[in-house]
Amino acid sequence: MAKLISILDNDFYKFTMQYAVVKLFPKAKARYQFINRGKHEFPEGFAAKLTESIQALSKLKLTKEEKIFFAESCPYMDPTYFDFLQGYRYDPEEVKIEQTGCELSVKIEGYWYRTILWEVPIMSLICEIYYEMTGLQRVADEEVMHIVESKMDKYDKLDITIADFGTRRRHSFDVHDLVIKTLINHPSKTFIGTSNLFLAMKYNTKQIGTHAHEWFMFHAAKYGYKMANLLGLENWADVYLGDLGIALSDTYTTEAFFKQFNKKLTKLFDGVRHDSGDAIEFAQKTINHYLSLGINPLSKSIIFSDGLDYDKVEKISNYCKGKIGYSFGIGTDFTNDVGLPRMNIVLKMTEALPENGEWTPVIKLSDEPMKHTGDSKEIEMAKRYLHIDD
């Protein structure tokens, strides 16, 4: 049975957001839903297997060793949070799973500070169980290691830094673990860390991450679309005081983001993360934004993280070199390059209930229109409100 062996086997930004939610929005609630972008057909009995694995998550708890590691590596987080996390348990009652034929439905509902941790583990379990149940055989461990080493040999020549962002759609925990082990042992300084907190602890490497789209999606539900980016960043800065300073830019398109990324925030945040749309266009828009405010782009960074492979990384690196700082977060091209089709799935917040508010649909307006998520009528209304043309 596919399972997680640690409560820290999750993306770091889930914990950083949870900490901020506990501090600022402890009474807020959220709903999430699975989206099968790749139209994958799930075998009979899949829902039962997934339910069994999710039930097992309720037994996970933060160990003493994990608590010490987490607290020592994140001094900007209060000790009370680590005590809270030590008492946190996944509640499977928050997750509803159904299967009709080959179609899978997964819905999550509960207090946001609790449900925020579900997305990444459920997605990784869906992937692992899918490969198990369909009987698709991956390449051997030696070949996985060879593939990673070959990629790193090429990346080393670009004189760049890269991190692993591949937890959500990895082939399996075993493959992910093997990939990080190989990256750690590779003789260069190109690899700088992983988004997976458990593997960062296991291999004594840096945990990478700040916040995700849902942070801004909730702010839109609470404050409206025109204030979502501004107040999302202001609240983040109030919690972290300049630490974890990479801002996600494309929840409501980059154009809308830069309109609210004012001089104070632009100076405070270390850089931005690119997650959709044309990377070169984004890089130039970002450079222009810094220059327009009298800020040297080389003092800031862009973290590129949108479906990267070597060719994309090389192209982006060649363009950005000497113009702006840059680094790369590589996902499934590391953790699911095992000779099998990769899964194209997401699990997104669909509604939010701010304190003293009401259930409100939430959406994402990606720089890539095909990656818009949420209710179609809400999407059209938001585009009109923000003056966005696809």
Could you state, in order of their start, the residue ranges of all structural domains in the chain?
A: 12-136+346-363, 141-335
For residue 80, give the amino acid letter.
T
| Angle formed by the axes of helices 225-240 and 376-385, nearest 10° | 90
Range 58-67 burial, b when 16+ CB lie within 10 A, else e:
eebebeeebb
73 φψ region: left (φ > 0), alpha (ψ -120 to 50), beta (else): alpha
Strands (E), 227-282: 246-248, 271-274
Please give the Cα distance from 54 to 326 (Å, whole number).
37
Please give the Cα distance from 335 to 314 (Å, whole number).
20
The one-digit pLDDT tens for each residue of the chain (390 residues) are 777 999 999 999 999 999 999 999 999 999 999 999 999 999 999 999 999 999 999 999 999 999 999 999 999 999 999 999 999 999 999 999 999 999 999 999 999 999 999 999 999 999 999 999 999 999 999 999 999 999 999 999 999 999 999 999 999 999 999 999 999 999 999 999 999 999 999 999 999 999 999 999 999 999 999 999 999 999 999 999 999 999 999 999 999 999 999 999 999 999 999 999 999 999 999 999 999 999 999 999 999 999 999 999 999 999 999 999 999 999 999 999 999 999 999 999 999 999 999 999 999 998 887 778 888 888 888 888 888 876
- The architecture in CATH of the region 12-136+346-363 reads Alpha-Beta Barrel (3.20)
| Angle formed by the axes of helices 213-223 and 12-24, nearest 10° | 20
Please give the Cα distance from 175 to 179 (Å, whole number).
6
Spatial contact of 164 and 336, defined as CB atoms under 8 Å apart: no
According to DSSP, the β-strands at 191-194 and 162-164 are parallel
Spatial contact of 188 and 156, defined as CB atoms under 8 Å apart: yes
- Whether 12-136+346-363 shares its CATH topology with 141-335 is answered yes
pTM of the full predicted structure?
0.97
CA dist 372 → 8, 34, 167, 339, 377 (Å): 29, 14, 22, 29, 12
CATH class of 141-335: alpha beta
Three-state SS at 191: strand
